[in-house]
């Protein structure tokens, strides 16, 4: 194999420019954060999971505007800097107002895995001190158990195709296995073991080497990372299968050590991904928590879809469109309406039944009709060869989704406040 050497680490240049240009267009953006810590960003292979924090004065109309404007900045940068295609895989996923990231109701354990890189220093200090003051809770435990359930078990080949990797694509087979699917499970297990959310992936691996059996597996990963995956023998068979089996065995042995550390379910030897998933699904979750966990990712979705629909010769968005549209109705229509119905009416209702009940009071007729049209169109099969046009069409009917989720979020806060006052 011929490997392209590790490129310079220009992530700081990237997110500084990204924040600067987005802030110029959207002045209520206060700060930019990214998942993990800087040492976890591997040049040529890592994407950058951007998060924006905005002023509390941001309005629904401005969320609509900012989605388009950030999408335009994103597209311009992708055209201007082709070598940043991997960094620009998607628009910022989670975008929150200051009051939301510091709200006990809307707390999301992933917040503790963010690093703030630029922005209003006072706002950043307030966020970091508020999050640091939060003690470990069942909400943290279930979050990390869900991560274990997602990434546990054997690596599924084909699940994580190399997209927009440029000359480093042939290194992605090991990067995907080590950093995208193995380490998130380890990060969650170390957090469960220590009852403290671990922010960084490298840090999680270092702690795992001390906490769990089979330290030689962690040594192998660090050795490979030190060489920027330039270990030719590990890409062929049967070696690649052996590596996958070692990683799976490591996860199983580590899971066994958590029996006394996990309180919401019983961790047992021999648990499979399906077993853990079933146990996690059986843990009761507050509908309000479930609602806010799902809708946090909705605000820049229109801009994301429009970016994917753009004609940029060197940016491959087809799989990204398929992935996004494969979950968009569930995430931004079905689950929010179902969880809203559970909390508002105390029963399990179909999404259309919830819409019937809130039509004309919480949501307008236009909102409800728009949600129905979005669900209808986004549920259709994606036409092969016309993925970008389909993404564009769904973006064009997305506005009622964002408006409705913002209105339902405000109503959920009121419901939860009343519920708290009564207890």
pLDDT band with cut points at 50, 70 and 90 for residue 296: confident
Residue 93: inside a domain, yes or no? yes
Categorise residue 385: left if φ over 0, alpha if ψ from -120 to 50, beta otherwise: left
Q: Is the peptide bond between 238 and the residue preceding it cis, with omega within 30 degrees of 0? A: yes
Average pLDDT of span 33-48? 96
Please state, for a pLDDT cut of 90, what percent of the chain lies above it: 94
- The answer to whether residues 83 and 167 touch, using CB atoms and an 8 Å cutoff, is no
Mean pLDDT of 176-198: 98
pLDDT at 289: 86
Residue 423 has pLDDT above 60, yes or no: no
Using the 3D structure, point to which of 236, 264, 281 is the last residue of a domain.
Answer: 281
96 pLDDT tier (thresholds 50, 70, 90): very high
Please indicate, yes or no, whether residues 145 and 130 belong to a single structural domain of this protein.
no
Residue 368 structural domain: 313-423
Q: Judge whether residue 418 has pLDDT over 90.
A: no
Examine the pLDDT at 62 and tell me if it is beyond 80. Answer: yes
Position 417 pLDDT exceeds 80: no
Point out the least confidently predicted range of 128-142, 145-159, 285-299, 396-410: 285-299
Q: Are 147 and 276 in contact (CB under 8 A)?
A: no
Q: In this structure, are 410 and 317 located in the same domain? A: yes
C-alpha span between 219 and 388 (Å, rounded): 43
Same domain, 110 and 164: no
pLDDT of residue 416: 77
Is 186 domain-assigned? yes
pLDDT of residue 197: 98
pLDDT digits (tens, 9 = 90+) for 132-181: 999 999 999 999 999 999 999 999 999 999 999 999 999 999 999 999 99
Around 251, how many Cα atoms within 13 Å sit in the side-chain half-sphere? 28
Alpha helices in 134-197 (DSSP H): 138-151, 172-175, 183-194
Same domain for 102 and 48? yes
Asked if residue 295 is part of any domain, the answer here is no
User: What is residue 136's predicted lDDT score, i.e. its pLDDT?
Assistant: 98
Residues 27 and 121 in one domain: yes
246 and 222 both lie in a single domain: yes
**Residue 335 falls within a domain, yes or no?**
yes
Whether residues 363 and 401 fall in one domain: yes
Residues 6+ apart with CB under 8 A from 386: none
pLDDT of residue 421: 61
Chain mean pLDDT for the chain: 96
- Of 397, 391, 401, 274, the residue nearest 335 (C-alpha): 401
* 69/150 same-domain check: no
What pLDDT is attached to residue 294? 78
Q: Do 45 and 170 sit in the same domain of this protein?
A: no
Q: Is residue 64 part of a domain?
A: yes
Domain boundary among 264, 281, 298: 281
Is 306 contained in some domain? no
Q: What is the pLDDT of residue 422?
A: 61
Residue 211 is predicted with a pLDDT of 98
φ, ψ of residue 39 in degrees (nearest 5) = -65, -20
Supply the pLDDT for residue 293.
Answer: 82
- pLDDT for position 47: 92
How many structural domains are present in the chain?
3
Q: Are 88 and 201 part of one and the same domain?
A: no
Q: 29-35 and 50-54: which strand pairing?
A: antiparallel
| Residues 64, 112 within the same domain | yes
Q: Is the pLDDT of residue 201 over 80?
A: yes
Give mean pLDDT, residues 225-245: 98
Domain boundary among 86, 117, 134: 134
Q: What is the pLDDT of residue 415?
A: 85
- What pLDDT score does 420 carry? 61
Q: Does 401 reside within a domain?
A: yes
Identify whether residues 327 and 277 lie together within a single domain.
no
Predicted confidence (pLDDT) per residue in 355-398, tens digit: 999 999 999 999 999 999 999 999 999 999 999 999 999 999 99
Specify if 169 maps to a domain: yes
pLDDT of residue 392: 98
Could you tell me what percent of the chain has a pLDDT over 70? 99
DSSP string computed for 28-77: TEEEEEEES-GGG--TTT----EEEEE-TT--HHHHHHHHHHHHHHHHHH
End-to-end CA distance of the chain: 64
């Amino acid at each position: 194999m011929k490997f392209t050497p590790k490129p310079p680490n220009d992530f700081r240049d990237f997110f500084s420019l990204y924040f600067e240009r987005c802030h110029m267009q959207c002045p209520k953006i206060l700060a930019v954060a990214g998942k993990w810590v800087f040492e976890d960003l591997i040049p040529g292979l890592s994407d950058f999971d951007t998060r924006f924090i905005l002023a509390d004065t941001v309005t629904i109309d401005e969320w609509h505007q900012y989605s388009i404007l950030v999408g335009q900045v994103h597209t311009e940068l992708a055209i201007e800097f082709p070598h940043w295609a991997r960094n620009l895989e998607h628009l910022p996923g989670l975008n929150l107002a200051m009051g939301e990231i510091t709200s006990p109701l809307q707390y999301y354990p992933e917040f503790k895995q963010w690093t703030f890189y630029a922005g209003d220093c006072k706002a950043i200090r307030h966020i970091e001190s508020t999050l640091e003051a939060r003690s470990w809770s069942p909400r943290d435990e279930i979050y990390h158990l869900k991560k274990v359930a997602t990434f546990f078990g054997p690596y599924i080949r084909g699940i994580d195709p190399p997209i927009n990797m440029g000359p480093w694509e042939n290194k992605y087979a090991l990067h995907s296995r080590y950093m995208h699917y193995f380490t998130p499970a380890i990060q969650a297990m170390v957090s469960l073991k220590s009852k403290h959310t671990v922010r960084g992936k490298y840090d999680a691996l270092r702690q795992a080497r001390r906490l769990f059996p089979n330290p030689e597996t962690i040594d192998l990963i660090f050795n490979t990372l030190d060489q920027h995956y330039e270990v030719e023998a590990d890409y062929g068979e049967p070696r690649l299968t052996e590596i996958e089996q070692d990683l799976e065995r490591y996860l199983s042995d580590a899971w066994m050590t958590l029996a006394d550390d996990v309180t919401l379910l019983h961790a047992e030897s021999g648990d499979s991904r399906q077993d853990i998933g079933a146990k996690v699904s059986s843990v009761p979750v507050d509908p309000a928590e479930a609602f806010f966990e799902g809708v946090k990712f909705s605000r820049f979705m229109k801009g994301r879809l429009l970016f994917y629909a753009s004609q940029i010769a060197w940016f491959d968005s087809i799989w990204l469109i398929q992935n996004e549209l494969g979950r968009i109705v569930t995430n931004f229509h079905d689950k929010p309406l179902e969880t809203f119905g559970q909390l508002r009416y105390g029963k399990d209702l179909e999404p259309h039944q919830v819409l019937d009940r809130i039509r004309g009071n919480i949501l307008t007729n236009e909102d409800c009709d728009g949600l129905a049209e979005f669900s209808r169109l986004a549920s259709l099969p994606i036409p092969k060869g016309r993925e970008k046009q389909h993404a564009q069409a769904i973006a064009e009917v997305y506005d009622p989704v964002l408006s409705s989720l913002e209105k339902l979020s405000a109503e959920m806060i009121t419901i939860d406040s009343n519920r708290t006052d009564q207890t």
